[in-house]
Structure 1
Amino acid sequence: MNTIFDFTVKDRKGKPVALKGYAGEVLLIVNTATKCGFTPQYEELERLYEKYHSKGFEILDFPCNQFGQQAPGTDESIHQFCKLTYGTEFPRFKKIKVNGDDADPVYKYLKEQKGFAGWDMTHPLAHILDDMLRKEDAEYDQKPDIKWNFTKFLTDKRGLVVARFEPTESIENIEKAITELL
């Protein structure tokens, strides 16, 4: 697999979606959760989507229940929550795993391309996450695994992974990176 466009994923109803259908677009790929301290980021993500979608930008939302069981429910109930609570319009896919042997192949690829980039320690939740994860594994920050919900990967129009943003990254920095690629 050379680019993100080489993969096929499942939509929330279980139908295959070839990511090559997004070729030529800038993608922000996000693992999400509906019951997380970062869940309000859906609002910021939808704002980015509305602002740049017509310019060739797409957000791909992959719910994941691996971090504190914070994405409970069915694919459809998660979708309804996001639509009703945050008015999201970007594509939402089937709930997946992002870490471990049974991680979705898309996420295995993304992590190979961009490892953990560190927290923005000015974010109020950064120290809490760092303390919690360091207690579990003193060297957690040396591994490429996804650390928490709302980790974002940015791909360019050719499908190459150009950046990874941890959930503590400011939306302004993410938006700047998106506009540079558009």
Structure 2
Amino acid sequence: MIDKRLEILKSGKELFEKKGFKKTNVAGITQLAGMATGTFYNYFTSKNDLFMELFIEENRLLKKNIMNQVDLEGHPLEVIRQLMYLNMKGMKDNPILKEWYNRDVFNKIEQIYREENGKEHTDFVYDAFIDVILKWQKDEKLRSDIHAEMIMAIFTALISVDTHKDEIGLEHFPEIMNHLVRFTMEGLMQV
């Protein structure tokens, strides 16, 4: 007997990767999975719900991969540069994670998901990195007067700047990101 939930996840992932969020619908997902459309709702409340589950899992895998690539014992500025670069690259290279940059779509999906599941289920942007921040604070490499979650929120804000690079100016963007990361880290390393 096939696991229908797993089939829906696999079919949804395939269609979201090929067509994107907007052009994917529940009927197409269930057709690809070889089941009736109504079966979908036995496992997921909506297309948004399925997408967010896939997004969170893809994000978790990306963060795990990043953490395995970076030398966390390096200088904090270089570690953060690497983490942010690998995170942005990984998000842009993954069709599901790339939807993060489609802010009209993603903001709506995230808001609905938060309402249905609670805020604690959407703290996925940098959760994998908080242990690094806590260790640096303990080792007095980073300020401890700023709570680790606030530091994570600062890094999330930096990543969010990437969604506005067209408005900022593409010709300036890589240099702006480098400066923002450096200025932020210099401020956070003033122990």
Same fold (TM over 0.5): no
- Which has the larger helix fraction? 2
- Which has the larger strand fraction? 1
Q: Larger RCO: Structure 1 or Structure 2 (Cα < 8 Å, ≥ 6 residues apart)?
A: 1
Between structure 1 and structure 2, the one with the greater Rg is 2
TM superposition score normalised by structure 1: 0.25
TM superposition score normalised by structure 2: 0.24
